[in-house]
Structure 1
Amino acid sequence: MYIFKMKAFSFKTLAGAALLACVTSFASAQTTDTLNAPAPVLKGLYADPNITTFGKKFYIYPTSDGTEGWMSTSFTCWSSDNLLDWKNEGVILDLPRDLTWAKERAWAPTIATKNNKYYYYYSANVNIGVAVADKPEGPFKDPIGKPLIPRGTRGGQMIDPMAFIDDDGTAYLYWGQGQCNIVKLNDDMVSCDTSKIISVKPEGYNEGPFMIKRKGIYYLMWSEYDTRDPRYSIAYATSKSPLGPFTKAVGHPVLKGKGVVKGAGHHSVVQVPGTDDWYIAYHRFAIPDGNGYNRETCVSPMRFDADGNILPVDVFEKLKPVKIKKAKK
C-alpha cells in the first residue's frame, strides 16, 4: 500500500510538472510571438512620422504614403490626448496650392515652436522648405517663397529636416540623405547662413536624422539602409555638443524589424513633459503586404539604461494610454 501511494504521488508530480512545462512554454511563445504586431496608431498609409507635444496634446506630422516614387503633394497633422487615439486635423500644407517652387514629393516634415509661432520644415521635390502658422494644426504659409535649403547645397539629397531647439533657445536644423548636415537657424527661424553648415557622416548613416537631449547628452539618431529594405533600422551617436563630434553607440540598433515587422525606421522621439518617459514614432512596411511605398506609422516606448544608453525598442510591445499632466513650457 505504501509503495502504491508513492507511485501515485510520483505520477501526479510528473503530470503536474508536464503541465507546468506546457504552460511555461506557451507563455514563452506568447512573449516571443513575432507574427502578431500591434496595430499602427494612424489609420491609413503614413510614413516618416514627426511626433511632438504642444500643450497637453501629442501631435504627429507624417508623410502621406501609398504612391510609387513617393509622389505625395500635401501634408496632414494628427493630434491625440492619450497616444492611442488620433484625430486627423486635415491638410495643413498643400504644395500645388501653397508653394510656387515645388508641386510634389512632400516628404518627412518636422516642427518647432518659437516666437509664439510654429515653424514647419519639410522636403518638397528634394529641397527643404519652411512654413509658418499660429497654431500647431495650421494652416501653414510659405514666408520666403523659395526653398530654405535648395537641392545641391551639399552632397546627397536635401531631405529629411529635423528642427531642434536647445535649452538656451538656439535652434538647429539637421537634414540629409547620404550625409547629415547641421546648421544654426537664425532667430527668425526662416533663414540660416549656409556657409556655416557642418556635414558629418557617422558609420552606417543614410537618412532621417533626429536629435534629442537628455541629462546633458546629445543623441543624434538616424536611419540605416534604404526605406525599401526590410533591414531599415535606427542607430545613434552621442556628443556633448549639438554640433558634435559624435561617437556612435556600439552593439545593437535602437530599433529594427523582426518577424512580421519589416523596414522599421525613419523615426522621431518625444519626451512626455514633466517625466523621463520617452516614446519613439516610426514607420514599418504595412502589415500585410506592405513595402517601401506602402508604410504605416507606429509608436513604441523607448527606454534608457542607468548609463544613458538607449535600450533596444520592442516593436511588439503593446502601447498603453499616456496623458500629459504638465504641459511643456
Structure 2
Amino acid sequence: MKKLTSLLALLASCTLSGFAQTDTTKAPAPVLPGVYADPNIAVFGNRFYIYPTTDGTEGWQSTYFTCWSSADLVQWKDEGKILDLPRDLTWAAARAWAPTIGTKNGKYYYYYAADTNIGVAVADKPTGPFKDPLGKPLIKRGMFKGQMIDPAVFTDDDGSSYLYWGNGSCHVVKLNEDMISYDSTKIVSFKPQDYNEGPFVIKRKGIYYLMWSEFDTRDPRYSVWYATSTSPLGPFVKAPGGPILKGRGVVKGAGHHSVVQVPGKDEWYIAYHRFKIPDGNGYNRETCISSLHFDDKGNILPVDVFEEIKPVEIKE
C-alpha cells in the first residue's frame, strides 16, 4: 500500500510539473529563424542579445557571425553581420564558432573561435561593428590538448573578468583590465567528470555555477551538466543527479547553452540549440530559450524543453 501511495504521489507531482501532460511530438518553435547554434545570450541596457554560430554547413564551415536583439526574449531582430572572418581577420577565414561577449569601460568585447583558435574583437556597441585589436589569436591552437574553442566570459561582482574555454578539458584565466590580454602563467586547467565542451559560468547567491555540454554535438544525447564552487577558478564539484538540459521526444541534441539573468530579478533563462525540427542533425541546429529554475538549496532544476516562454519585460 505504501508503494502504491508513493507511486501515485510521484505521478501527481509529474502532472503538476507539466512533464506528464507534455506532447513530446510538438516542440515550441525556435526563437531565431533558420539554423543557428551555440547561442550566447546576454543583456545590455533594456535589450537582450543573442550571438550564435551560423549553422548549416557540413563540418561547420561558417565564415561570419551575426547578432540578434530583443526587448522581450520572444521577438528577435536580426542586427546583421558583426564579424566577417575573411574580411575582418588576417589569421583565419573559416570555422567561425561559439562566440561570447562581455563589456567593460564602455566597450564590448567579443570572444569567438576561428579555425580552432580563440580571437577577440572590440566594438562601441553590442551590435558592432567589431574590430580585431590584436591581429592574431588571443589563444592559439595547440596551447593545450584538445581544441581551443568555445570561449565564455564571466565578470564577477568586483569587476574582474574571467575567460573559460576548451574542448576536451576546461581552461580559465583572469583577463587583464584591457580585456584583450592575460597572464599565461595564471591559466588554470581542469576536467570535470565527463566534461566535453561549451563551458559557461554564472554566479548566484555567492555560488559559482560552471556548466558544460557532454557527448558530441552530433549525438542526440548531447546535454548540459554543471558543477559548483566558491571561487571562479574552482575547484568545481559536479552536482549529483542527471543533466539539467537534455532532449526528450522530438527534441534531440539539446546543449551548448548560455544563461542570462533578468536585471534586478532572480529570474533566469537558458539559451541552447537542438537538432532542427524536422530533419536536423549536428550540422543543422536551431536556437531555443527556456526558463531556468533553482530549488531552495540552490540546485539547478531540470529544464523543460517543451516550455513556451512568455514575453519578459526589462525595467530600468
TM-score (norm 2): 0.94
**1:320 paired to 2:310:** yes
State how 1:117-196 maps to structure 2 within 5 Å.
117-196=107-186
Deviations 1:202-232 (A, max 9, x none): 0010000000000000000000000000000
Residue 290 of structure 2 aligns with which residue? Answer: 300
Measure how far apart 1:32 and its partner are. Answer: 2.5
Equivalent residue for 1:273, pick from 242, 263, 273 = 263
In the alignment, structure 2 segments of 5+ residues that lack a partner are: 1-14
Q: Distance in 2 between matches of 1:273 and 1:317?
A: 22
Which amino acid in the other structure matches residue 257 of structure 1? G
Q: Distance in 1 between matches of 2:290 and 2:227?
A: 20
Measure how far apart 1:193 and its partner are. Answer: 1.4
Which amino acid in the other structure matches residue 71 of structure 1? Q
How has the CA–CA distance of structure 1 residues 78 and 29 changed in structure 2, closer, same or farther, with 3 Å as cutoff?
closer
Q: Distance in 2 between matches of 1:38 and 1:267?
A: 17
Q: Distance in 2 between matches of 1:86 and 1:29?
A: 28
Residue 37 of structure 2 aligns with which residue? Answer: 47
Equivalent residue for 2:300, pick from 310, 313, 318 = 310
State how 1:1-329 maps to structure 2 within 5 Å.
31-326=21-316
Q: Secondary structure at the match of 1:97?
A: helix
Runs (4+) off by over 4 Å? none
Identity %: 75
Superposed CA RMSD in Å reads 1.1
Q: Which moved more, 1:192-201 or 1:93-102?
A: 192-201
Contact 2:19/2:304 (8 A) holds in 1: no
Q: Distance in 2 between matches of 1:38 and 1:53?
A: 23
Deviations 1:220-267 (A, max 9, x none): 000000000000000000000000011100112110000000000000
Q: Distance in 2 between matches of 1:29 and 1:134?
A: 44
Q: Distance in 2 between matches of 1:159 and 1:53?
A: 23
Q: Distance in 2 between matches of 1:323 and 1:277?
A: 11
Q: Secondary structure at the match of 1:31?
A: coil
Q: Distance in 1 between matches of 2:153 and 2:72?
A: 24
Structure showing greater Rg: 1
Which amino acid in the other structure matches residue 52 of structure 1? A
Deviations 1:81-134 (A, max 9, x none): 010000000000000000000000000000000011000000000000000000
Deviations 1:120-153 (A, max 9, x none): 0000000000000000000000001000000011
Q: Distance in 2 between matches of 1:104 and 1:125?
A: 6
Aligned residues: 300
Q: Distance in 2 between matches of 1:68 and 1:324?
A: 38
In the alignment, structure 1 segments of 5+ residues that lack a partner are: 1-24
